[in-house]
A = this chain, B = another copy of it.
């Protein structure tokens, strides 16, 4: 490691405190002194020792992203990398550092609690896509650890950022209705997740808004994966929908496969709409009509809210932040209408 405060101080002929004041841009240093100290800092290549600093300030300027379940879909989707991209950007902008805490086994989980959460290593936490029944968020609340949830969390006092899943699903379904469809099926996401629930809610809202009865036989639960989409579509084909809204693109792609295997065509026989706008969506035949969400901003806003929280921790409790970012319908070929 490089030189310490002490050495810089000696070099500049001042005391440690003065160098500390200078490096932290604090007032009460004569301009000439300040200049002299800066000179010694540059000359010596001094770099503050983050760990020593943290020990006294009790802040590490490190936050961590925790993903409770290493959901499979997370590692094939572009969701995760884009979220991290947004999060790191926001961290960079404010001189924070981002750690990544993934864990699968629940044994790992408790070991992680100690190592990450209670060891003073991180100042705060970003919780990404926590299932409703996961104990992580309750645990964080109880331990008073500052955190922001990526994804709506139905509990007062939890700060979150989410995309408007309800509106997105509603737009997608309304689009199908406008195209004349009345028997519109839904392949939902896992109903143990808020995203799964919200996208189903949007579908319902669209139907109800147009006085179209919601039929249980037209709704099948999937788990966001291609395989589950295929299976769900096979089941749905027996009740002959004229259109399918899938709550994820991967499920839509699975549904497409099922429809084809049944000798039918998209969009001629069945119209299809997905959700997410993964890169694959624009590349398959027919290109998939879908709902696009600002994933990168989800990550950056989540981090910004968390850092605001951390920077005002001494103040009175800040109001709960609940941010919902807009989604956007991307019309392509799979719904049978491009305009």
Contact = CB atoms under 8 A, between A and B. Distances in A.
A259 to B, nearest CB: 13
B119 A47 contact: yes
Interface string A95-117: 10111111100001001101110
Contact of A280 (B2, B48, B279): B279
Contact size class for A? 35 or more
A49 interface: yes
Contact of A92 (B45, B108, B257): B108
B98 A99 contact: yes
A36 to B, nearest CB: 21
A85 B73 CA distance: 13
A337 interface: no
Interface stretch (A52-60, A207-215, A303-311): A52-60
Interface in A248-284: 250, 253, 257, 279-280, 283-284
A88 interface: yes
Interface string A65-93: 00000100011101011101100110010
A336 interface: no
A62 to B, nearest CB: 7
A1 B120 contact: yes
B285 A283 contact: no
Contacts of A284: 280, 283-285
A334 to B, nearest CB: 13
A97 B120 contact: no
B253 A283 contact: yes
Given A51-B60, A279-B280, A97 B76 contact: no
Contacts of A121: 50-51, 62, 97
B283 A226 contact: yes
A118 B2 contact: yes
A111 B116 CA distance: 26
A99 B102 contact: no
A279 B251 CA distance: 13
A4 to B, nearest CB: 11
Interface of A: 1-2, 45, 47-52, 54-55, 58, 60, 62, 70, 74-76, 78, 80-82, 84-85, 88-89, 92, 95, 97-103, 108, 111-112, 114-116, 118-121, 226, 250, 253, 257, 279-280, 283-285
Given A51-B55, A88-B103, A257-B283, 20 more contacts: A1-B118, A2-B118, A48-B119, A49-B119, A49-B120, A51-B54, A51-B60, A51-B120, A51-B121, A52-B120, A55-B55, A74-B81, A75-B85, A84-B100, A92-B111, A97-B121, A100-B100, A226-B283, A279-B280, A280-B284
